[in-house]
Amino acid sequence: MAAGRLHSKDRPVHWMGGFTLLSLAPDLDVFGFSLGVPYEHALGHRGASHSLLVALLGAACALVQRRDRVRAAVLGVLVIASHGLLDALTTGGLGVALLWPFTEARYFFPVRPIPVAPIGRGLLSARGAYVMAVEAALFSPLLLYALWPRRRMV
């Protein structure tokens, strides 16, 4: 949402929604579970879709826009890349394939302040509520920036 606010003064809500959806795109890999793709596979959860190379696809998505293509492309890359980088700051899972396809190794950062969220219905549990509260606290500055009213020029 903050990227949408940063990008557009005219239609920030439109861009907030678009960048929000783009930030969630790497987690489409969870549908692989229902297809039998193991977590640890390159196409499994937090695998290839979370790589920095795939984040560059954000630029391709943004380049179809008519205005401010370069700014939209840069923000698109940052938004998608932030997903994998933030996942590398979590406390669980097998790590993130940030450097796929060059290596299938999975990485975590040395400091991991974000508790891992339960997948699926587990998000609606007490543990899920705890994780959402921690994430709300951690990301509240960005949310405040995104939602803070703009000054009206008279």
Give the start-to-end residue ranges of the domains of the chain.
2-113
Say how far apart CA 98 and CA 48 lie, in whole Å: 8
Structure tokens at 62: 């943004």
- pTM listed for this prediction: 0.87
pLDDT of residue 110: 97
Q: Say if CB 106 and CB 96 are below 8 A apart.
A: yes
- Per-residue pLDDT reduced to its tens digit, 33-62: 999 999 999 999 999 999 999 998 767 766
Count of CB atoms within 10 A of residue 64's CB? Answer: 9
